[in-house]
Amino acid sequence: MELTTWNIPVLALRGLTVFPHMDLTFDVERPISIAALSRAMETDQEIFLVTQKEMGTAVPEEKDLYRVGTVSHITQVLRVSEGSVRVMVEGGRRARMKRLWQSEPFLQANVEALPEQKESEAFLRSARTEALLRQTAVLFDEYAGRVSGLPDEVKTQVEECRDPGYLADFLAQNIRLRTEERQSILEEPSAYIRLRKLNEFLARENDVLAFEGEMEDKVRSQLARSQREQILRTQIRVMQGELGETDDGDEELDDYRARILRLGLPEETESHLLKEVDKLSKQPYTSAESAVIRGYLDVCLEMPWNTQTRERLNVEAARKILDKDHFGLEKVKRRILETIAVRQMNPEGRGQILCLVGPPGVGKTSIAISVAKALNRKLARLSLGGVRDEADIRGHRKTYIGSMPGRIIEAISRSKSMNPLLLLDEIDKLGSDYRGDPAAALLEVLDSEQNCAFRDHFMEIPVDLSHVMFITTANTTETIPRPLLDRMEVIELGSYTDEEKLQIVKNHLLPKQLKEHGLKKTQLRVDDGALRALIRDYTRESGVRVLERRVAALCRKADMQILTGGVKRLTVEEKDLPELLDMSPYPPALHAEREETGVVNGLAWTEVGGEILEVEVNVMPGTGKLELTGNLGDVMKESAQAALSCLRSRTDRYEIDPEFYKNTDIHIHFPEGAVPKDGPSAGIAIATALCSALTGRKVRAGLAMTGEITLRGRVLAIGGLKEKTMAALRNGIGTVLIPQDNVRDLEQIDQTVRAALEFVPVTNVDEVLSRALCPAEKKKKKAAAEPAKPETAEPLAAFAPARSEGGQDALRQ
């Protein structure tokens, strides 16, 4: 390369300087630079590398570039990605740009080589040079000690290099210098001066690094100190906790303490809770134990400790609300008003616990809701059905994982007041097993002597339940644990008659459902005929729950037709019901119609109301076997045996083969075998069916009976008369045989039922049979006491059916 000036593509470098004899790799992205590289590659791979004065200049002009750079050799070009190439260059000789004569598509300049000063051997060996080299070595040593990650070969090169010019270039390329400093090294032709300059920069850099190090140390030690302080503070907190001292630092703990103190709780409770907060302060924030304590404190603080609603004790106001919400139920309402009256006279007195007993859907829950409304108490319900574990009532100790307070505390917390009306549903379904007896826990809850300091296992602190009013509901009193039953005042709610149901559906259920379905009175009319049919043919229940559901179904249909069927209003008549309800009416009861042999209508009482219980008897020639089927309990089986013995002693009287127990097989069956049946009250029905089957005499139509039988044929009193007679009426029965001893219970039976049924009191089985069986058909021979018409059992005048008052209309016949 003898030419001293030549034209060459230019690559403008940003923040980078390339020194002679140095290999360097860098990435290039600017199109003008890539174009310059391609041009160079097309020719002799020589390119002028010169640094820009400002890094930010995108398209540099002549004034933006330093003048001195290196003419370098491109050893490799790699495409790294779209629009970016990696170049490897080997720095060549120093050159000065004379004129940048092309700026597009790439820079091109006319450059002139700078003469390389050749140092004499004497100069290189001179003491001055040696001193300079040593100084460089010392400075570099210091530098290398301060920066990390300097490659070892750099260090050895520096140690071994005796050429001050090269050493200056080498260091300028490899140590941290500012662009101007590098450039000034590049521009310096004299090797000695170049290295001296470099030493100056290196010394200054060492100072900067020393200062930086010092600052870093300071920051580091400060950090360490603050960490140490933090640990110490935590330790102090723990120690303070051990000493029973409080720590003012922690906001959460302070907040808990403030909230506890604000509640003004009894001293014992307050100090217990504060102790828990202290315990919490000793726990690391994230520990499981601290989560448990926090959960506990939250539950305790959420209790409505000081909140009570102002009770309204006013009999008249309460009467209005109860009457408005419910039709009938006079006895229940009266009893509830009495309770309110007592409290009005003596607000401090301990109230009775009411237990509403009756079949489903007769309004037990809804009357309790009305009571809460009348008394201005909040209502909280909890169902005891299936509760077998004491912990359900009393909570789990908080040491258990996932432990919670019991249902009583939970319900009070939910009600957000300390004097709610707690409605305990299904108290008759309370179970008990090895996990403890929930009834005992409940007893404590309900006992006014004890419940002013009820202790829940989870809460641990006493809670005063004495302001809570309790009402319980049940389907039957039979399964309520005795001690609980003794604590409560039982109020019975019976089945509704069809007429009552009509009033309820007209005045309560329909308006309620219309409102819930967004309908106006005028938009859906259901005429009385349809309502009666709904009650009679589309529901079979003691209460009105299904009835309410049917009414809701009609309302839904009305909503739909008004919205999509272009209908303004809907009037429902009986004939529309099958389509609107999407069901056909229940078939009418068959019990009443025919006279049959060996089939008798018994009457049963169940939790959901009364029912007709058929007894069927078949007799076949055989060896005297007795078979009983239909899911019967022991009492029922014994009662069948008793009936059989009783008849055996009367074979003469009823012209039964005296040997029948030897040569006849008897099968007694109660249909609907899926339903368990027990109790003695089917006795006379079994005896009648047996006698009918054995004699072939038919049982009169429209007749039902209930009564226990003794071996001697006496008829004993039974329970559940009200529900049973209601069932008889519902099923189209006209005459009911009842034990004489139950006559006094007729007082309590609904007027409509009394008017519609004929009640025949009986004292022994002969009266029953003479009343129930038709006369023998073929045999004309008169049996001993076989009157064709009943003589021994006349209907009671007082309870004879009222056939003349048009009351029949209201009843299904």
**Which one among 106, 166, 327, 538 touches ligand ADP, defined by CB under 6 A?**
327
Alpha carbon distance 763, 447 (integer Å)? 44
Q: Which residues contact 415 (CB under 8 A, 6 or more apart)?
A: 304, 378, 379, 380, 422
Alpha carbon distance 161, 175 (integer Å)? 16
Q: How far is the CB of 503 from ligand ADP (least distance, A)?
A: 8
**Which one among 362, 570, 738, 757 touches ligand ADP, defined by CB under 6 A?**
362
> Binding to ligand ADP by residue 370, rule CB under 6 A?
no
Q: Is the CB of residue 566 less than 8 Å from the CB of residue 612?
A: no
Phi, psi at 734, each rounded to 5°: -105, -35
Of residues 541 through 560, those in contact with ligand ADP by CB under 6 A are 543-545, 548
> Binding to ligand ADP by residue 282, rule CB under 6 A?
no
**Which one among 364, 591, 669, 722 touches ligand ADP, defined by CB under 6 A?**
364
> Binding to ligand ADP by residue 517, rule CB under 6 A?
no
Task: Say whether 724 is catalytic.
Answer: yes
Alpha carbon distance 462, 776 (integer Å)? 75
**Which one among 328, 436, 481, 807 touches ligand ADP, defined by CB under 6 A?**
328
Structure tokens at 277: 């907060």
Of 10-18, 288-296, 324-332, 617-625, which part binds ligand ADP (CB under 6 A)? 324-332
Number of residues this chain uses to bind ligand ADP (CB under 6 A): 19
Of residues 195 through 214, those in contact with ligand ADP by CB under 6 A are none
3-state secondary structure of 11: strand
Q: How far is the CB of 367 from ligand ADP (least distance, A)?
A: 7
Element containing residue 218 per DSSP (H, E): helix 191-242
Residue with tokens 């004299």: 190
Catalytically annotated residue among 681, 692, 698, 722:
681
Catalytically annotated residue among 333, 364, 378, 724:
724
Nearest to 607 by CA among 720, 707, 733: 720
Of 142-150, 286-294, 362-370, 693-701, which part binds ligand ADP (CB under 6 A)? 362-370
Residue with tokens 């102790």: 275
Our CA angle for 427, 428, 431, nearest 5°, is 90
> Binding to ligand ADP by residue 504, rule CB under 6 A?
yes
Q: Is the CB of residue 73 less than 8 Å from the CB of residue 46?
A: yes
Of residues 624 through 653, those in contact with ligand ADP by CB under 6 A are none
x-marked contacts with ligand ADP along 331-360 as a string, rule CB under 6 A: ---------------------------x-x
Q: Write the single-letter amino acid at 705.
A: M
Based on CB atoms, which residue is closest to ligand ADP, 180 or 516? 516
Residue of this chain nearest to ligand ADP (CB atom): 363
> Binding to ligand ADP by residue 511, rule CB under 6 A?
no
Q: Is the CB of residue 459 less than 8 Å from the CB of residue 395?
A: yes
For residue 621, cis peptide bond before it (omega within 30 degrees of 0): no
Structure tokens at 475: 């389907």
Based on CB atoms, which residue is closest to ligand ADP, 426 or 741? 426
> Binding to ligand ADP by residue 157, rule CB under 6 A?
no
Our CA angle for 776, 779, 785, nearest 5°, is 60
**Which one among 69, 363, 739, 801 touches ligand ADP, defined by CB under 6 A?**
363
Phi-psi group of 609: left, alpha or beta (phi > 0 → left; psi -120 to 50 → alpha; rest → beta)? left
Alpha carbon distance 320, 94 (integer Å)? 111
Q: How far is the CB of 475 from ligand ADP (least distance, A)?
A: 8
Of 325-333, 345-353, 680-688, 723-731, which part binds ligand ADP (CB under 6 A)? 325-333
Alpha carbon distance 439, 91 (integer Å)? 98
3-state secondary structure of 700: coil
Q: How far is the CB of 573 from ligand ADP (least distance, A)?
A: 24
**DSSP class of 548:** H
Of residues 471 through 500, those in contact with ligand ADP by CB under 6 A are 473
Q: Which residues bind ligand ADP (CB under 6 A)?
A: 326-329, 358, 360-366, 473, 504, 508, 543-545, 548
Catalytic residues: 681, 724
